Amino acid sequence: MLVAVHPAEPSRELAEALLLAGVETVPVMEQPTADDWAIAVFELAEEPAPALREARRLVEDLGVRVLAVLDRNQAGMLNDAGFVDDFMLNPPDPVELRLRLARLEQEEPAGAIVRFKDLELNTATYQATVTGKPIDLTYVEYELLRFFIVNQGRVWSRDQLLSKVWGYDYYGGARTVDVHVRRLRSKLGERRASWITTVRSVGYRFG
């Protein structure tokens, strides 16, 4: 995946997260056209206003998608930045960064609802509800559950889930899938935990 980055020299935390996420980058200032990329990562840093102006220009001129990386006290600035497609708080987690960039690359329609029985996932707000009541999922738990629902009925190995959901060879190893499945079952509740079936010596099946 190739993305443009602003500023040309991002913070050490963002640079490391991009590297661990397996993302190839080019500086926005050196890549003024979007022939080879369609996503730009903007770190607001100490000069958020100029960064947001440049992001708006790219969106209006080239139609790229923008992921903003910002400090918690800068989140309010996004109220007037409807052109920003997604955001992350500093310091960015490489797994979440990869997932968010992959979602932007897929260009899913805003507001789409993914359903399974009484479970709903809103892909625009990243909210999950059961019988209309919200359940608190981390970003990775949400992405894993969304993948299960969209691809229900077939068996997925742990390595396949790492590749499809995490998007690259996760440095934590395949057992991290078991941890996230266990957390999902717990959060779905005893009656719905059986939706995720363990297939011995293979992996997991949903539905």
Q: Are residues 68 and 46 in the same domain?
A: yes
Q: Are residues 26 and 76 in the same domain?
A: yes
Separation of alpha carbons 23 and 37, rounded Å: 12
Q: Are residues 117 and 202 in the same domain?
A: yes
Report which listed range, 103-117, 136-150, 161-175, is most confident: 136-150
Q: Are residues 152 and 89 in the same domain?
A: no
Q: Are residues 128 and 63 in the same domain?
A: no
Q: pLDDT at residue 20 above 60?
A: yes
Q: Are residues 59 and 101 in the same domain?
A: yes
Q: Are residues 82 and 122 in the same domain?
A: no
The CATH code of the domain that includes 91 is 3.40.50.2300
Q: How confident is the model at residue 108 (pLDDT cuts 50, 70, 90)?
A: low
Q: Are residues 91 and 134 in the same domain?
A: no
Q: Which domain holds residue 156?
A: 113-206
pLDDT at 203: 94
The CATH code of the domain that includes 185 is 1.10.10.10
pLDDT at 180: 94
Of the three residues 81, 106, 131, the one that is the final residue of a domain is: 106
pTM, full prediction: 0.61
What mean pLDDT is reported for the chain? 87
Strand partners, 133: 130
Of the three residues 106, 129, 157, the one that is the final residue of a domain is: 106
pLDDT at 91: 93
Q: Are residues 12 and 47 in the same domain?
A: yes
pLDDT digits (tens, 9 = 90+) for 76-88: 888 888 889 899 9
Q: How confident is the model at residue 35 (pLDDT cuts 50, 70, 90)?
A: low
Q: pLDDT at residue 168 above 60?
A: no
Mean pLDDT of 79-103: 90
pLDDT at 47: 85
Q: Are residues 90 and 25 in the same domain?
A: yes
Of the three residues 87, 106, 125, the one that is the final residue of a domain is: 106
**What is the number of structural domains in the chain?**
2
> Residue 108 carries which DSSP code?
P
Burial of 12 (0-12, 13-18, 19+ CB in 10 A): exposed
| 49-to-45, 58, 78 alpha-carbon distances in Å | 10, 14, 11
Q: Are residues 42 and 13 in the same domain?
A: yes
Token pair belonging to 205 = 């099946």
Q: Are residues 7 and 38 in the same domain?
A: yes
Over the range 20-56, which residues count as b (16 or more CB within 10 Å of their CB) and which as e? Answer: bbebebeebeebeebeebbbbbbbbbeebeebbebbe
Q: pLDDT at residue 92 above 90?
A: yes
27 near 1, Cβ under 8 Å? no
Mean pLDDT of 130-144: 93
